[in-house]
Chain A
Amino acid sequence: MFNDRSPIYQQIADGIKNDILSGSLREDEQVMSTNQYAAFYRINPATAAKGFAQLVDEGVLYKKRGIGMFVSPDAPGKLRAARRERFFAEALEPVLDEAERVGISIDEITHYLGSRR
Chain B
Amino acid sequence: MIEMRGVTIRYGDTVAVDDVHLTLPTGKIYGLLGRNGSGKTSLLSALASYRRPNRGTVLVDGVEAFENPRVMRGTVFVRDTLDLNDSDRVRTALEVAGWLRPTWDAEYALKLLDIFELDSRKRVSALSRGQRSVVGVVLGLAARAPLTILDESYLGMDAVARTLFYRELLADYLSHPRTVILSTHLIEEVADLFERVVIIDRGRILLHDETDALRGRGVTVTGPADRVTAFAAGHTVLGEQSLGGVRALTLDGRLEPGEIARGEQAGLTFGPLGLQDLFVHLTSQRLEASR
A residues with CB within 8 A of B = 2-9, 35, 38-39, 41-47, 50
Set A2, A3, A44: member contacting B194, Cβ < 8 A:
A44
Bound Cα distance from A38 to B171, whole angstroms: 9
For B28, give the chain A residue with the smallest CB separation: A46
- Which residues in A have their C-beta under 8 angstroms from that of B171? 39
B residues with CB within 8 A of A = 28-29, 166-167, 170-171, 173-174, 192-195, 211-213, 215-216, 272-275
* Beta-carbon contact of B174 and A7 below 8 Å: no
CB distance from A46 to the nearest CB of B (A): 4
Q: Is the interface of B mostly helix, strand, loop or mixed?
A: helix
* Beta-carbon contact of B28 and A39 below 8 Å: no
* Beta-carbon contact of B212 and A42 below 8 Å: no
* Beta-carbon contact of B194 and A4 below 8 Å: no
* Beta-carbon contact of B192 and A2 below 8 Å: yes
* Beta-carbon contact of A44 and B216 below 8 Å: no
A-B contact list, 15 entries, CB within 8 Å: A2-B192, A3-B272, A4-B215, A5-B215, A7-B212, A7-B215, A8-B212, A9-B212, A42-B192, A44-B192, A44-B194, A44-B211, A46-B195, A47-B192, A47-B211
CB distance from B203 to the nearest CB of A (A): 27
- Which residues in B have their C-beta under 8 angstroms from that of A39? 170-171, 174
Bound Cα distance from A101 to B80, whole angstroms: 57
- Which residues in A have their C-beta under 8 angstroms from that of B167? 42
* Beta-carbon contact of B174 and A4 below 8 Å: no
Bound Cα distance from A5 to B272, whole angstroms: 5
* Beta-carbon contact of A45 and B174 below 8 Å: yes
Name the 4 nearest CB pairs between A and B, nearest first: A7-B212, A5-B272, A46-B195, A43-B192
For A2, give the chain B residue with the smallest CB separation: B192
- Which residues in A have their C-beta under 8 angstroms from that of B192? 2, 8, 41-44, 47
* Beta-carbon contact of B174 and A38 below 8 Å: yes
Bound Cα distance from A39 to B174, whole angstroms: 8
Bound Cα distance from A3 to B193, whole angstroms: 14
Bound Cα distance from A41 to B167, whole angstroms: 10
* Beta-carbon contact of B216 and A6 below 8 Å: yes
A9, A38, A42: residue with the most chain B Cβ atoms closer than 10 Å: A42
- Which residues in A have their C-beta under 8 angstroms from that of B273? 4
CB distance from A110 to the nearest CB of B (A): 25
Sample of 4 more A-B contacts, CB < 8 Å, known A5-B272, A43-B193, A44-B29? A4-B275, A39-B174, A44-B195, A44-B211
Bound Cα distance from A45 to B193, whole angstroms: 8
- Which residues in B have their C-beta under 8 angstroms from that of A50? 212
Bound Cα distance from A34 to B174, whole angstroms: 10
- Which residues in A have their C-beta under 8 angstroms from that of B211? 44, 47
A44-B211, A50-B212 known; A4-B274 Cβ under 8 A = yes
- Which residues in A have their C-beta under 8 angstroms from that of B28? 46
* Beta-carbon contact of A35 and B174 below 8 Å: yes
